[in-house]
Amino acid sequence: MRLELGNIFIKDLQFGEATKVENGVLYVNKKELLEAVSGDNRLVSIEVDIAKPGEETRIMPVKDVIEPRVKVEGPGGIFPGFINKVDVVGSGKTHVLKGAAVVTAGKIVGFQEGIIDMTGPGADYTPFSKTNNLVLVCTPIDHLPQHEHEQAVRMVGLKAAAYIGEAGRNVKPDEVKTYETLPLLEGIKKYPDLPRVAYVYMLQTQGLLHDTYVYGVDAKRIVPTLIYPTEVMDGAILSGNCVSACDKNPTYNHLNNPIIEDLYERHGKDYNFVGVIITNENVTLADKERSSNWSAKLAEYLGLDAVIVSEEGFGNPDTDLMMNCKKISAKGIKTVLVTDEYAGRDGASQSLADADKSADAVVTAGNANEVIELPAMKKVIGDLKPADIIAGGFAGSLRPDGSIVAELQVITGATSEIGFNKLSATQY
């Protein structure tokens, strides 16, 4: 499967009379945007604002971050199963508004939602301080069940990203990158002497607002399976969860999975990137055993020499991570794990809830318990009050002057296993 990504670099974001891209500036017609995302009677109002890099702006509580993309050639459309019909994506041509993002925020859904600071110390920990953000603040009707609230806001974000992505349909990209994965036997024939490597992609599926979607299906309902890496780049995998902001993989991270991108960089040179095994994270022991058995079985079936395994979340999913590692390693396949840590504020506690001696190559995205002080910002998009109750916050986190003292886990994407700053990652 072969996909061309045409990156259109967005240097600025402004409201305008027409939604378009011109000289690197993304203009958005606010009225048309609101018409495109409105219509859900579960939401009382949707407000739109803009947050740019370097501004003294805080966005909270953040639900999801989505990169605008549009399918310009090939089967299917962006975000299949939600915005477009279910069809296999990942081939043809897709245009990307690189440097722009849609952020959904508003009244808190669950307690595990995050903060994006566009400047200051908090900005150093989130990749979304560097994007031009179109923020949609959604207010639900009273007493709306949490799962419906999450669903309503999720669809607003996806509709907005699809609407804005259309602005790039007829724009000549500033950069074109090509990604290709051959069918298994063809790939082996083409690269007979290169080690075969795959990516085991653990998706957050613990339920209770901890959901991830694959082609519109809640991934709790799948068994581990194979997909082409390029399918992810066309929105086949979407976030629908409220796991701790620091290690949540927003939809933006799925679309821009750095592990997939790095594997492609060395594909055909140092190894043969065979593809992606997607698996879920379960709450019962039997389901954990079943899914890890399938992941190991697929790795063996593909004749792999090595895998990279990433985890989303922490605590309970640490067991899924170790089961995958242990069982795949037992097949004689080398494993490298990517995870964050919860090692206590002093860094002296056990980092993971589970461990195994086979986990001898681990990349850490950082300690989410580290305490950080976020200074007050001149502008707040959303609401500061949840600072005391979101994961990583505590009574007194929000100070009278608007500053916040909390654990690093309050920051969206701070230690995300597939969205962390690669320069800060360490291997031990």
242 belongs to the catalytic site: yes
C-alpha to C-alpha distance for 251 and 215, rounded to whole angstroms: 13
170: part of which helix (H) or strand (E)? none
Matching residue, tokens 């500033």: 174
Plot region of 275 (φ>0 → left; ψ -120 to 50 → alpha; else → beta): left
Closest CA to 51 of 112, 130, 155, 106: 130
Name beta bridge partners: 57: 379
> Residues 249, 210: contact at Cβ < 8 Å?
no
Tokens of 362: 């681990």
Dihedral (CA of 347, 353, 359, 363) sign? negative
C-alpha to C-alpha distance for 124 and 371, rounded to whole angstroms: 14
Terminal-residue alpha carbon distance, the chain: 35
The single residue of 138, 242, 246, 325 carrying the catalytic annotation is 242
Q: How many CA atoms lie within 13 A of 420 on its CB side?
A: 26
Residues in Cβ contact with 98 at an 8 Å cutoff, skipping those fewer than 6 apart: 7, 8, 9, 10, 67, 175
Judging by beta carbons within 10 Å of its beta carbon (0-12, 13-18, 19+), is residue 162 exposed, middle or buried? buried
Closest CA to 292 of 303, 281, 301: 281
C-alpha to C-alpha distance for 369 and 127, rounded to whole angstroms: 19
Catalytic annotation, residues: 242
